[in-house]
Amino acid sequence: MTARQAAISAIATHRVAKTQDYLKDAGAVIYGSYVFNEGAQQKYLAKPIYRKLRQTIDGLGPLDPEIVDAVAHGVKEWALAHGATHYTHWFVPMTGSTAEKHDSFLTPTGDGQTIAAFSGQNLLQGEPDASSFPSGGLRATFEARGYTGWDVTSPIFLQVEPNGVTMTIPTAYVSFTGEALDFKIPLLRSQEALGVQALRVLRWFDNTTAERVITNIGPEQEYFLIDRRLAEQRPDLLLTGRTLFGAPSPKGQELEDQYFGPIRERILAFMMDLDRELWRLGIPAKTRHNEVAPAQFEMAPVYEATSVGSDHNMIVMSHMRRLASQHGLMLLIHEKPFAGINGSGKHNNWSMATDGGENLLDPGNDPHANAQFLAFLVAVIRAVNVHADLLRAAIADAGNDHRLGANEAPPAIVSIFLGEQLEDVIAQLEQGPAAASKKGGELRLGATSLPVLAKDATDRNRTSPFAFTGNKFEFRAVGSSAPIYWPQTVLNTAVADSLKQLADELDKLDHGDFVSLTTILSTIIKANKQVLFEGNGYSEAWHAEAARRHLPNNRTTVDALPALTTTTAKALFSSFGVLSERELASRVEINWERYVKIQDIEASTAMDIASTMILPATARYLGQLAGASSSRGISAVSERVSGLADALVDRIAALERAQHAAHKARSVQAEAKAFATEVIPAQEALRAVVDELETLVADDLWPLPKYREMLFQY
């Protein structure tokens, strides 16, 4: 029995263990129990300390250094009460994953004893090695010092593992020279930049009560789960996160029976455990369901502040990986783990709100009469149009290249869907004051036992990369594995730019001069309406129409990244203090390097599998055919397999030559282009041969678990 056959056989005997204490641990009881939240702060901090800390968390003032030691003592006592033995500064370097270094609370006293010590300085600052993380040239190998600084706005939480508890402090990560080495710092800067400009606009509308404007996020997370025993027989899944080879399954997603279908027992057990762990960490997980592709699923949280939600999404992905393993599953969060069926994205639901809870993207009952809403809406339209190339660059990644433009993802053209109601209002506003808004209605279902359904005033468009969905925008083009900090940083900064332009114009007007306001908004619409598109974003006709509208269509990462090096990009980020030119350049360099490294790993993995697994299996099959009867049918199969074996050897060699040639490029940008134009096509040509062989070589000789097994075997 082969390893593949043994794995399949083992799955057949698998039984789902019941999740422990799920019903007993009601969500309302356990929610936030692993978080140093407001309740814990009230319990472990003196009232004056608590009040000052809350002011900073709520954005009403800087952190008072006089309270830091008291906060450190309180949070230490809270952590020790929950069994913590260590603490860590948790941050998000530009690797795409999180980082942490654990330190023990225990400190020797000099008399052979120890005490649990944790000072304000321990809370505020840590020191990881700045040269061991990607810096894009900001730090040389010998320039090692870097600092982590406590992000007071993101809750301290506990990592509770079977072998210990660690108090985890969300932090920002900065170099010795003060330059951002992480995703968190630019995001926080962009939020403040947007908030400043949004308040200027609100003041014109005589809003004197709002003290700050924040952005909110609700990232829907798509993912695949397959049996771990099968995944472990696939070097491509282990090393790259996607299948580099694989013939289509006889059944895929064509029957459309997976989407919102009944959740299988084994998967539901995983989801229940995930919900419970996320609730304990104060992560508002709300929705779970089957997605379109077989073995594909989704979870979605309730809105929260973007910086907190971005941290929480990293925690979500981490817990998914850990819990999947406990259930004998493997989490696949790559954007396209299986060719020919839907891939995964991360749909970022984004909005702006005041500290009083007013959603600035809520159109109200009469959008045409809601001048404040229209002002913010038009500012977003301009932001997406003017900075479409930067928004595309923000989601550029080797994995997302496999997904963008396919039938499950928005195209690489960044456009906005508003829906019939707002599209009509904007069309009116372009000509002058809007006079009316289209209304929804009712749907009668033709049976007295069924309710009358309220009908929205507009439909949804799942082919749009940036769609308005009632009181928020859904940025649908973000990749499933991506940290969401960077796309939201770019979006925030782009909107800050538009709000500043609008505020500058409003400052010239008297408050309440809505006639002049209408003129300003009409002018902005006329200059930016080309980014509005209500139709099918998948169609070839839209690509042609977008070209006529002069909208950028950067299909690959290699096409998209140069937008970040333009004078416009440098001026945008530096003018709002989000990124200096050096910080921006470092991120561009890191993205180029990451693209090359991912493609290089994939090419090497493909050659290794083809040479050491596929070719030997093919040779064994040819041997079997040679020993079989010399019937015309057997001879024909043997001849076909023999030809494919020769082609396999040739294409392995061709891929190796292309890879070596790419490495000789004189710059990382040229190397990336060589991978895109030469290595990837050579790898796809190799795959075509391997996938055809999979359909011919005897099943008991084929070394890799097949699509039909991974997608339907539970």
Residue 514: CATH number of its domain: 3.30.590.10
- Sequence-ordered list of residues with C-beta below 8 angstroms from that of 76, at least 6 positions apart, any chain: 87, 105, 116, 118, 167
Q: What is the pLDDT of residue 74?
A: 96
Residue 642: CATH number of its domain: 1.20.120.1560
Residue 176: CATH number of its domain: 3.10.20.70
- The single residue listed with the structure tokens 């013939």 is 247
Amino acid at 160: V
Domain that holds residue 699: 595-712
**CB-side neighbour CA atoms (13 Å) of 46:** 8
DSSP H helices in 13-162: 27-30, 38-44, 47-57, 68-81, 120-124
Q: What is the pLDDT of residue 445?
A: 57
- The single residue listed with the structure tokens 């004051």 is 433
Q: What φ, ψ does residue 601 adopt, rounded to 5°? A: -60, -45
Q: Do 106 and 204 reside in the same domain of the chain?
A: no
10 Å CB burial of residue 705 (0-12, 13-18, 19+) is buried
Q: Do 656 and 707 reside in the same domain of the chain?
A: yes
Identify whether 305 is part of a domain: yes
Identify whether 250 is part of a domain: no
Identify whether 8 is part of a domain: no
Instruction: Give the pLDDT mean for 321-341.
Output: 95
User: What is the per-residue pLDDT across 343-365, written as a single tens digit (0 to 9) for each?
Assistant: 999 999 999 999 999 999 998 88
Q: How large a percentage of the chain has pLDDT more than 70?
A: 92
Identify whether 238 is part of a domain: yes
Q: Do 227 and 286 reside in the same domain of the chain?
A: yes
Helix/strand/coil for 169: strand
User: What is the per-residue pLDDT across 512-535, written as a single tens digit (0 to 9) for each?
Assistant: 889 999 999 999 999 999 999 999
Q: Do 622 and 648 reside in the same domain of the chain?
A: yes
Res. 457 pLDDT band, cuts 50 70 90? low
And the tokens for 515? 């006639």
Q: Do 471 and 381 reside in the same domain of the chain?
A: yes
Identify whether 588 is part of a domain: no
And the tokens for 193? 């930049």
Identify whether 19 is part of a domain: no
Q: How many CB atoms lie within 10 A of CB 120?
A: 17
Partnered with residue 478 across adjacent β-strands are 346
Q: Do 303 and 341 reside in the same domain of the chain?
A: yes
**CA–CA separation, 274 and 22 (whole Å):** 10
**Listed residues 131, 164, 182: the one ending a domain:** 182
User: What is the per-residue pLDDT across 142-154, written as a single tens digit (0 to 9) for each?
Assistant: 778 889 999 999 9
- The single residue listed with the structure tokens 């809105």 is 303
Identify whether 699 is part of a domain: yes
Helix 581-609 × helix 680-694 angle, to 10°: 30
Q: Do 136 and 268 reside in the same domain of the chain?
A: no
pLDDT at 311 over 50: yes
Please give the C-alpha separations between residue 47 and each of 156, 593, 614, in angstroms, as whole numbers: 19, 50, 68
8-state DSSP, 555:
-
Task: Pick the range with the lowest mean pLDDT from 109-123, 299-313, 325-339, 441-455.
Answer: 441-455
**Listed residues 549, 579, 609: the one ending a domain:** 579
Q: How large a percentage of the chain has pLDDT more than 90?
A: 75
Q: Do 408 and 267 reside in the same domain of the chain?
A: yes
pLDDT at 114 over 80: no
Q: Do 562 and 677 reside in the same domain of the chain?
A: no
**CA–CA separation, 622 and 498 (whole Å):** 66
Look at the chain and report how many structural domains it folds into: 3
10 Å CB burial of residue 200 (0-12, 13-18, 19+) is middle
Q: Do 599 and 484 reside in the same domain of the chain?
A: no
- Sequence-ordered list of residues with C-beta below 8 angstroms from that of 475, at least 6 positions apart, any chain: 347, 348, 349, 350, 465, 466, 487, 491
pTM listed for this prediction: 0.94
- The single residue listed with the structure tokens 């992000």 is 151
DSSP H helices in 327-435: 371-386, 388-394, 398-401, 420-431
Res. 431 pLDDT band, cuts 50 70 90? confident
Instruction: Give the pLDDT mean for 410-428.
Output: 88
Amino acid at 512: G
Partnered with residue 122 across adjacent β-strands are none
User: Any idea what the Cα angle at residue 96 is, between residues 91 and 97, rounded to 5°?
Assistant: 50
**CA–CA separation, 507 and 511 (whole Å):** 9
**Listed residues 158, 182, 206: the one ending a domain:** 182
Instruction: Give the pLDDT mean for 420-449.
Output: 74
User: What is the per-residue pLDDT across 463-516, written as a single tens digit (0 to 9) for each?
Assistant: 899 999 989 999 999 999 999 999 999 999 999 999 999 999 999 999 888 999
Average pLDDT in the chain? 91
Q: Are residues 86 and 167 in contact, defined by beta-carbon separation less than 8 angstroms?
A: yes
Amino acid at 196: V
Partnered with residue 182 across adjacent β-strands are 93
Q: Do 173 and 196 reside in the same domain of the chain?
A: no
pLDDT at 90 over 60: yes
8-state DSSP, 553:
B
**CA–CA separation, 180 and 202 (whole Å):** 31
Amino acid at 639: E
Amino acid at 550: H
Identify whether 281 is part of a domain: yes
C-alpha dihedral sign at 672, 678, 681, 682: negative
Q: Do 289 and 344 reside in the same domain of the chain?
A: yes
pLDDT at 23 over 50: no
